[in-house]
Chain A
């Protein structure tokens, strides 16, 4: 596993994309065949099954390290990663091993059928023969949570560099139901694949965030507006009787949305649609959380498919009758899209809808529409110049997103907890309260939104202003006021304050605000009354 651990170290030691890709490409040129296939599998989310519970691993690691289990358990949240905690805590290895990655993966696989004592013996044996980084990798594999900070997209690019095969071709080869133990590098990657061209997507055109108001954009009549929906951007490619779905990261995600397959029959071949994938029920978008459940998995169980069915909300038409029409003006593409979708979607069982136009007479009217976004579970409005072509990448000028402002409230910092993992030495996890009479009622936690310098500053302050400690939590002197931003609010009997926020974060540190002027529970309840019914 030395070569694989060295790859892991190289990837881990740089934040630069091109260096990561270079490291992977080197690995794909040099590594043994079976290891290459396993690496591709791991980096495309095909992880080995978990064969030992983490409870057992923790116990064995603590025993082996000669420390009580509580001490292991206290260390774990500070390190932030179980595999790493185990790797760090164990005594140094007694021997070395030259066995390849594939060997250790099959060892892990074999554990499933063994009695606990035998499993323990094998895991301890592995730990005693692996260097710390190898151990970390081994632990990641055994706990089934392996991630290397490299997306499938980057892996595909590296593979392309190493083999000279085009990226979209490789992406196509890597989809589907192949298993690393049952295929070879030759069969998976190198053998010719005639259908690859069919799946090829177009580069996505991305909008810029509009700062301020759209007044500077000129005459409203030159612009088309629609909602900015809160799902994931996707491209539906229908060619040769097959259906392919690409994410904005240009990952092929067809397998995750099996309900789109019938579109290959319902629409003419040679059709490519840009749109938003949304979880959809009763002709309305569901909360993003519903869609998120779908994204986490390679295959979709039937229950999830029924609970959170997906549709494509169509924005744009990029290919029609097999012809690339991106150079046509948006208004023309949109007209063709309306015809196409309109014809197909008489049958509402099909997972395809047209993202409706938001008509507006002037910019003030559009501002009013934008303000309604939250109530419609949208994120704001999109503006597209009617005569613009479909460009690629993020370019200024023709497309703008105008997001709705977050809700916000001024709250007092009352509890602080040390961060873990990336922020183990700073206080970054805060609980905030609002006034109820002369008491502060905790109502939300927030972790992000401050600069590193601000986190350092508040950390030094927390150390000197701790009133009490409860385990890792410190109750601090109420003093600092922060503006907390959030995207939605909901009633929640489980919380002391009676509300739960969506995406809370610190917008700014209100040095200017005295403690007494922070908002009250009544203010929070007023926001709940205004917005609580509609968002999730």
Chain B
């Protein structure tokens, strides 16, 4: 009998159920952990995801054949039972549990353990084999509690507003942006959003996720009508002339990578807030231990270091090559609509004669 899940050139594959998890090439049936572009790609004949992830997927992928399950709901596919369990990464994100005759494998996609107040919090799923990311799989990555970051961010905003400057933060359009919105103190000033972010906001609001009032930045928006604003932009928009319309401003990036001084400095933003939708070192270890798994497959991130560490901890650990990308500091999530894509298009270097 073959393994419950196998690793192929097209994605994580279940031979018994004849389906893929987060495949990167077109397949017949795809189970999707969450709506980020490196996990939910177009071209699949049929999709299966959580009901909470569905609106964003439809927004991004258009007319797709998509069935949904609630967290914990079971579905038989071929000879296996599948179910989706909260991964705490972004709204609707899931770990996918696959069971056959008492043997359980879990593909966790991207995850974090801290309750961000936006996504359904992570739940450990007992299993025999666990597929984990390792984006921040080094002991130098340690996140501070969200409340502490919120305090620092609001203090920064307040200070800028008092000095008549806008505050501009570069963030992912799906997940991170909305998480930040809910951390911000709206009594300080108005929250303006880049179109790519506001498109995602609209999708999430429509599915009943509460977000503070925001104002879309359009070409005719007059910055001085909104003094002391907080502006949420895609990281790529930060590097263009887009922020100039706000006049005097301070810029920041919000990412786990901001934990490294060197990355902070290279980005030349005024501030770096260390906040991630991926697990830090301690959380990765906690999550893996909580599954009770003996076998661990390490996908994207510091794979070789993290799997060696896990082997020394007594796990049967192996590296798996995938096309997942972890937390990219630079790329806007292509989930985020036209403007972001346009920004990316213009960055590709022109072919030299």
Question: Which residues of A pack against B, CB within 8 Å?
Answer: 12-16, 65, 67-68, 70-72, 74-75, 78-81, 84-85, 88-89, 149, 420-426, 451-454, 456-457, 460, 463-464, 466, 469, 471, 508-512
Which of A70, A74, A424, A453 is in CB contact (< 8 Å) with B349?
A453
- Is A425 within 8 A of B352, CB to CB? no
Given known contacts A75-B140, A508-B349, what 8 new A-B pairs fall within 8 Å (CB)? A15-B270, A67-B139, A79-B262, A421-B261, A452-B239, A457-B347, A460-B325, A466-B321
- Is B323 within 8 A of A71, CB to CB? no
- Is B331 within 8 A of A512, CB to CB? no
**Cα distance A423–B261 in the bound complex, in angstroms:** 10
- Is A422 within 8 A of B266, CB to CB? yes
**Cα distance A16–B248 in the bound complex, in angstroms:** 13
- Is B353 within 8 A of A423, CB to CB? no
**Cα distance A453–B346 in the bound complex, in angstroms:** 10
- How far is the CB of B319 from the nearest CB of chain A, in Å? 9
- List 6 interface pairs A-B (beta carbons < 8 Å), by A numbering: A75-B138, A78-B140, A88-B259, A422-B266, A425-B328, A508-B349
**Cα distance A423–B347 in the bound complex, in angstroms:** 19
Inside 8 A of B352's CB, which chain A residues have their CB?
508-512
- Is B348 within 8 A of A457, CB to CB? yes
A14/B270 contact (C-beta < 8 A), A422-B263, A424-B257, A509-B349 known: yes
Q: Which residue of B lies closest to A14 (CB)?
A: B270
Q: Which residue of A lies closest to B321 (CB)?
A: A466
**Cα distance A511–B270 in the bound complex, in angstroms:** 34
**Cα distance A123–B303 in the bound complex, in angstroms:** 32
**Cα distance A453–B263 in the bound complex, in angstroms:** 15
Q: Which residue of A lies closest to B265 (CB)?
A: A422
- Is A89 within 8 A of B139, CB to CB? yes
- How far is the CB of A132 from the nearest CB of chain B, in Å? 9
A13/B351 contact (C-beta < 8 A), A421-B260, A422-B266, A463-B325 known: no
A463/B323 contact (C-beta < 8 A), A13-B271, A15-B268, A68-B312 known: yes
Which of A12, A88, A464, A471 is in CB contact (< 8 Å) with B140?
A88
Inside 8 A of A452's CB, which chain B residues have their CB?
239, 330
A81/B262 contact (C-beta < 8 A), A453-B349, A511-B349 known: yes
- How far is the CB of A409 from the nearest CB of chain B, in Å? 15
Inside 8 A of B141's CB, which chain A residues have their CB?
88
List 9 tightest A-B contacts by C-beta distance, closest first. Answer: A421-B262, A422-B266, A453-B347, A88-B140, A422-B262, A511-B351, A456-B330, A74-B305, A80-B262
Q: Which residue of A lies closest to B300 (CB)?
A: A463
Which of A16, A65, A423, A469 is in CB contact (< 8 Å) with B139?
A65
**Cα distance A86–B138 in the bound complex, in angstroms:** 13
**Cα distance A424–B262 in the bound complex, in angstroms:** 8
Q: Identify which of A80, A88, A469, A508 gathers the most chain B CB atoms within 10 Å of its CB.
A: A88
- Is A75 within 8 A of B139, CB to CB? yes
Inside 8 A of B265's CB, which chain A residues have their CB?
12, 15, 149, 422
Inside 8 A of A463's CB, which chain B residues have their CB?
323, 325
- How far is the CB of B83 from the nearest CB of chain A, in Å? 30
Inside 8 A of A16's CB, which chain B residues have their CB?
270
Inside 8 A of B179's CB, which chain A residues have their CB?
none
- Is B329 within 8 A of A79, CB to CB? no
**Cα distance A88–B140 in the bound complex, in angstroms:** 5
Question: Which residues of B pack against A, CB within 8 Å?
Answer: 138-142, 239, 257, 259-266, 268, 270-271, 302, 304-305, 308-309, 312, 321, 323, 325, 328-331, 347-349, 351-353
Which of A15, A74, A85, A423 is in CB contact (< 8 Å) with B263?
A423
Inside 8 A of B138's CB, which chain A residues have their CB?
74-75, 78
- How far is the CB of B38 from the nearest CB of chain A, in Å? 10
Inside 8 A of B270's CB, which chain A residues have their CB?
13-16
- Is B348 within 8 A of A453, CB to CB? yes
Q: Identify which of A89, A422, A511 gathers the most chain B CB atoms within 10 Å of its CB.
A: A422
Q: Which residue of A lies closest to B260 (CB)?
A: A424
Q: Which residue of B lies closest to A456 (CB)?
A: B330
Q: Which residue of B lies closest to A149 (CB)?
A: B265
**Cα distance A75–B271 in the bound complex, in angstroms:** 24
Inside 8 A of A423's CB, which chain B residues have their CB?
262-263, 266
Inside 8 A of A512's CB, which chain B residues have their CB?
351-353
Which of A75, A89, A422, A469 is in CB contact (< 8 Å) with B304?
A469
**Cα distance A510–B329 in the bound complex, in angstroms:** 26
Inside 8 A of B323's CB, which chain A residues have their CB?
463-464
- How far is the CB of B311 from the nearest CB of chain A, in Å? 12
- How far is the CB of A525 from the nearest CB of chain B, in Å? 26
- How far is the CB of B280 from the nearest CB of chain A, in Å? 11
Q: Which residue of B lies closest to A92 (CB)?
A: B142
- Is A420 within 8 A of B305, CB to CB? no
Q: Which residue of B lies closest to A428 (CB)?
A: B266
**Cα distance A510–B309 in the bound complex, in angstroms:** 40
Inside 8 A of A420's CB, which chain B residues have their CB?
262
Q: Which residue of B lies closest to A78 (CB)?
A: B138
**Cα distance A511–B353 in the bound complex, in angstroms:** 9
Inside 8 A of A74's CB, which chain B residues have their CB?
138, 305
A451/B349 contact (C-beta < 8 A), A422-B262, A456-B331 known: yes
**Cα distance A70–B270 in the bound complex, in angstroms:** 34
- How far is the CB of B169 from the nearest CB of chain A, in Å? 14
**Cα distance A67–B285 in the bound complex, in angstroms:** 13
**Cα distance A509–B323 in the bound complex, in angstroms:** 24
Inside 8 A of B139's CB, which chain A residues have their CB?
65, 67, 71-72, 75, 88-89
**Cα distance A12–B138 in the bound complex, in angstroms:** 23
**Cα distance A81–B271 in the bound complex, in angstroms:** 20
Inside 8 A of A508's CB, which chain B residues have their CB?
349, 352
Inside 8 A of A456's CB, which chain B residues have their CB?
328, 330-331, 347
- Is B257 within 8 A of A425, CB to CB? yes
A81/B347 contact (C-beta < 8 A), A67-B139, A75-B138, A511-B352 known: no
**Cα distance A88–B325 in the bound complex, in angstroms:** 24
Inside 8 A of A457's CB, which chain B residues have their CB?
347-349
**Cα distance A422–B330 in the bound complex, in angstroms:** 13
**Cα distance A330–B330 in the bound complex, in angstroms:** 50
**Cα distance A471–B321 in the bound complex, in angstroms:** 15
- How far is the CB of B130 from the nearest CB of chain A, in Å? 20
Inside 8 A of A466's CB, which chain B residues have their CB?
321
- How far is the CB of A58 from the nearest CB of chain B, in Å? 13
**Cα distance A530–B271 in the bound complex, in angstroms:** 50
**Cα distance A453–B329 in the bound complex, in angstroms:** 12
Q: Which residue of A lies closest to B251 (CB)?
A: A15
- How far is the CB of B74 from the nearest CB of chain A, in Å? 34
**Cα distance A510–B132 in the bound complex, in angstroms:** 37
- How far is the CB of A528 from the nearest CB of chain B, in Å? 26
Which of B140, B349, B353 is in CB contact (< 8 Å) with A79?
B140
